Amino acid sequence: MNVETFLRHHQIRENPFRAEEARQDAVFTRIETVCHHPDYAKVRGEFDRPSSAIVFGERGSGKTAMRLQIEHEVREHNRQTTDERCLLIAYDDLNPVLDRLHLQMGETSAAASIEKIRLVDHLDGILSTIVPRLMDQLLNESRDEPAIEAEPSLRKTWRQSDAATKRDVLLLQSCYDRPEEADLRTSRVRRALRTGTLSLMPWMKWAAIGLGGLTIALALLILIQNPEEQRWLWNAALIVFALLALFVGGQYLRRSWQMHSIARTLSKSLRTLHRPAMSFRKSLCTLPVHDVLTTELPNDAGDDARYHMVQRLLHVLRPLGYRSMIVIVDRIDEPTLVNGEPERMRAIIWPLMNNKFLQQDRIGIKLLLPLDLKHELFRERTDFFREARLDKQNLVERLTWSGAMLYDICTTRLNACREDGVEPMSLRELFDETVTHGDLVDALDQMQQPRDAFKLMYAVIQEHCASVPEETPKWLIPKLTLDTVRKQQVDRLGGMLRGVRPA
């Protein structure tokens, strides 16, 4: 019997259990507001006063679904308010960050580069995730990323803001915009902001060239004309122009060397950007010299300058109505250089286990981590736990699902896929009288998590339809089919735990 025929008989439009990844799950988008894990509220926290959370869970236990639910609620929260918004930063695509770090480090192996990752590298990575989005919107450049909500527009709001806000926008752009185009966009950002302040570096350069040219021209004129009258006046003018040219040229060279030195240090310090010093120098020379020389830039290995840059980000977001920020760290096992290896995941995440980082005011860090790291965590020494202060971080040691919870989720998905206007049905109504509610709960309990529960139900429907001919259909699934498929799925899970099968 065809699966579509079976589903159509039960007035089900699509298979509720087909999807395995929350990001590509159309059914989940219809039920994400009604299906929550019991620990969801603890992990989410409040948006006006965000808190950090550390969650461990098996692959398929619902970490990404929880993240999508938080994203949905943040969007709804931001639509309902204009002055207490919360900015959500998804720090989940670590491929660019790790690739650039590996190139910057120059190590022969990825493991050697990852072992040297620091907290400041993550802070740089987070800032380089959100700053380009803000600059795209300021410059009216369309990208795939969702727009930052702002009323009136971000461009108009920042134009009308004070000089300190505009300065912070320029500093953030100069340091954390996309490496391949940052130096080209700095002057465009200045024009978009209408800062009203000028950078002296280009003027000093052309003034030195102009004065030098005048000095040479005057010297040639004196040499050729050889004026006898008022010779002292000609010589005095030549000396004045020469001194001015030397002074302005010397000032330009001194400032240029300072900018080059700062740019070179930034290029070495911002390792997750892998941006050449010349690019930083072009950006810095576009800014007012005073702002560059008097501002604490992230040009060393210390974290204080990075925290100041984070505060600058919060400062430039305030005129847009944002008072808080949530950073979600997810999918750390997926980057190419990590390849799911626990030791590499540990090297990436452990620097984030820092109480100062996790307890920043108005910033919530949500770490959604594979269960493999929980076992690594409990092997650590007392000093590590003293620094991390996990007792304050809303720790969820494991996302667990009971059979009853999974039964409710499956029933909710089932009804979300039914035809419009029909009466709700329970999951048990797909089975005949030999299958009790308890049988289904027990079977789902053995699956332990949503992804495997959906695989079980998907396989049960497939197996039933494969064993029934189209001419003599049976619309209810017998207990034998459930027991057979359950045994197969339990064996599959056992093989996964032993590492003898992929999924």
Give the pLDDT confidence of 411-470 residue by residue, as tens digits: 999 999 999 889 999 999 999 999 999 999 999 999 989 999 999 999 999 999 999 998
Give the pLDDT confidence of 108-123 residue by residue, as tens digits: 888 899 999 999 999 9
How do the domains of the chain map onto residue ranges? Answer: 3-16+401-498, 22-113+124-160+310-396
Burial of 146 (0-12, 13-18, 19+ CB in 10 A): exposed
> Would you give the DSSP letter of residue 423?
P
Buried b / exposed e over 268-294, threshold 16 CB at 10 Å, is: ebbbbbbbebebbbbbbbbbbbebbee
Place of tokens 């752009």: 173
| DSSP-assigned states of every residue in 73-99 | HHHHHHHH-SSSEEEEEEE---HHHHH
CA nearest neighbour of 461 among 448, 442, 446, 474: 474
Phi, psi of 395 (to 5 degrees): -75, 130
Q: Does domain 22-113+124-160+310-396 have CATH number 3.40.50?
A: yes
Other Cβ atoms closer than 10 A to 328:
24
pLDDT of residue 375: 87
Give the pLDDT confidence of 278-307 residue by residue, as tens digits: 999 999 988 888 888 888 899 877 889 999
CA nearest neighbour of 323 among 70, 86, 164: 86
Give the pLDDT confidence of 165-192 residue by residue, as tens digits: 999 999 999 999 999 999 999 999 999 9
pTM to 2 decimal places: 0.85
Average pLDDT, the chain: 89
> Would you give the DSSP letter of residue 424?
P
What is the rounded radius of gyration, in angstroms, for the C-alpha atoms of the chain? 31
Q: With a cut of 70, which residues of the chain have pLDDT below it?
A: 196-201, 228-230, 232, 498-503
Q: Tell me what percent of the residues of the chain surpass a pLDDT of 90.
A: 62
CA nearest neighbour of 189 among 164, 218, 169: 169
State the DSSP H helix or E strand holding residue 261, giving kind and residue range, or none if neither.
Answer: helix 231-269
The Cβ-side half-sphere exposure at 503, using a 13 Å CA radius, reads 8
